Amino acid sequence: MRPFVFLVASVAALGGLLFGYDTGVISGAILFITRDFALSTRLQELTISIVLVGCIVGSAVAGTIADRIGRRITLLTAGVIFALGALGSAFAPTIDVLLAARFVVGIGIGFCSVVAPLYISEVAPADIRGALVSLYQFAITVGILGAFLVDYALAGAGAWRWMLALALIPSLILIGGMLPLPESPRYLFKIGNVAAAEVELRRIAGRDEIGVEETAIVDSLKVHGSGFAAFATPGVRYALVLGIALAMLQQVTGINTVIYYGPHIFQLAGIASNEASILATALVGVVNVLLTLVAIFFVDRIGRKPLLYAGCTGMFLALSALAIAFSQPHLGGSLATIALVSLMVYVGSFAYSLGPILWLLISEIFPLQVRGLGMSICTLSNWVANLVVSLFFLSMVQALGASATFSIYAALCIVTLVVVARGVPETKREILEDISLARGPSLARPEGIP
């Protein structure tokens, strides 16, 4: 792996660290925010979910902004927005101010969730693109684990303000790291700055001969049109439908109920103390980090679809075991152990499949003219589904019970397997433009779809 490319991808992946830290830190902080502000169940859900409303807003406009001012500047902007929101959250005197600050944090995360994988995908050579884009998901998992460890360290003091304030650190690292990095060469070709684009493409390729890739990029700009009109093309339209479906399924299979409400789930399973439930959640976070490495090492070797098959199957089995366990009142103290093991298997299966491969696929399947817009729409769908799941998880548990709730998520894993089998193309080791051009007709009607 070329050091320069690895450096560029690693710095951009820090956007995932912001995403992961704030996603994870609230699971522990909410226990103490609820105590200090006397929050009802509905306000607890809103405090967790308001950041997702900001993510929806941020992701809705991020692609268009990235297409206008560039990928690099948009990521810098995301870091600044996130820093301001983190400071506001830490010093919030009332729940209303906290909600407003977390909304701002969400806008920054929404920007990162679109532009970080987009930028990495456009600077990555085809043979290692899967591994480099997976660094973004790896950074998310590291951020989540770091948040869990911070929560555990500060739980004894109930210092939720410090939990939220420490989000400032990754945002400052992202801002400082992006300043010296180059713009995406594909974006430079898109805006007509050919000379600068060729220079950056040679740096990324590590060689002077870039004719084949440059020709593919230039040709791709002539084919599909731009803006929403491009989605009238069958292949591009199918890519959008597929991207939206995968983005929503990643969330409705329940992953962020574990991330946001992990301590709450463990307390339902019989782990009484805040510190112990946060520690159990942190152990799940360790599994999340370690199993993401599987995707980094194998996604360009064995492909996207085999990992999705294995991961979704593991998620289904783990959620089914969890649902069965919660339906058996006689399990008593064994329930906590079953819950911990099941959630480890579930999160681990997600970590090498749906977690990283969603971001990879939606950064690959769109042509350059509408890549920012297409990713924005898919990511918006992801955040909307995330909001719905997180906003109603506690209510579902109260109304249906934990067993029925996890059974629903397990059933949706089966739906995901069907979508993967019938609709997802294998894109490993292909130049981005070859995916859009060569697969246009097959994306419009993949094998097995009438």
The whole-chain average pLDDT of the chain stands at 87
Is residue 344 domain-resident?
yes
The fraction of the chain above a pLDDT of 90, given in percent, is 48
Nearest to 179 by CA among 12, 49, 30: 12
Average pLDDT over residues 279-295: 88
Q: What is the pLDDT of residues 126-162, one digit of tens each?
A: 888 999 999 999 998 899 888 888 988 898 898 999 9
Q: What is the pLDDT of residues 331-387, one digit of tens each?
A: 656 777 888 888 889 999 999 999 999 999 999 998 888 888 999 999 999 999 988
Is residue 203 domain-resident?
no
Q: In sequence order, what are the residues at sequence separation of 6 or more whose Cβ sits closer than 8 angstroms to the Cβ of residue 374? A: 63, 236, 239, 240, 243, 362, 365, 366
Is residue 187 domain-resident?
no
Top-confidence residue, 19 or 208:
19
Is residue 197 domain-resident?
no
pLDDT at 170 over 80: yes
Is residue 207 domain-resident?
no
| Domain CATH for 374 | 1.20.1250.20
What pLDDT, on a 0 to 100 scale, did the predictor assign at position 91?
94
What pLDDT, on a 0 to 100 scale, did the predictor assign at position 219?
77
The fraction of the chain above a pLDDT of 70, given in percent, is 94
pLDDT at 391 over 50: yes
What pLDDT, on a 0 to 100 scale, did the predictor assign at position 253?
95
As for how many domains the chain has, the answer is: 1
pLDDT at 439 over 50: no
Range of the domain at 369: 3-181+223-444
Q: What is the pLDDT of residues 184-206, one digit of tens each?
A: 998 999 899 999 998 888 887 77
Q: What is the pLDDT of residues 207-224, one digit of tens each?
A: 666 777 788 888 777 765
pLDDT band at 277 (very low <50, low <70, confident <90, very high): confident
Is residue 218 domain-resident?
no
What pLDDT, on a 0 to 100 scale, did the predictor assign at position 71?
93
pLDDT at 446 over 60: no
What pLDDT, on a 0 to 100 scale, did the predictor assign at position 437?
42
Is residue 199 domain-resident?
no
What pLDDT, on a 0 to 100 scale, did the predictor assign at position 225?
62
Is residue 189 domain-resident?
no
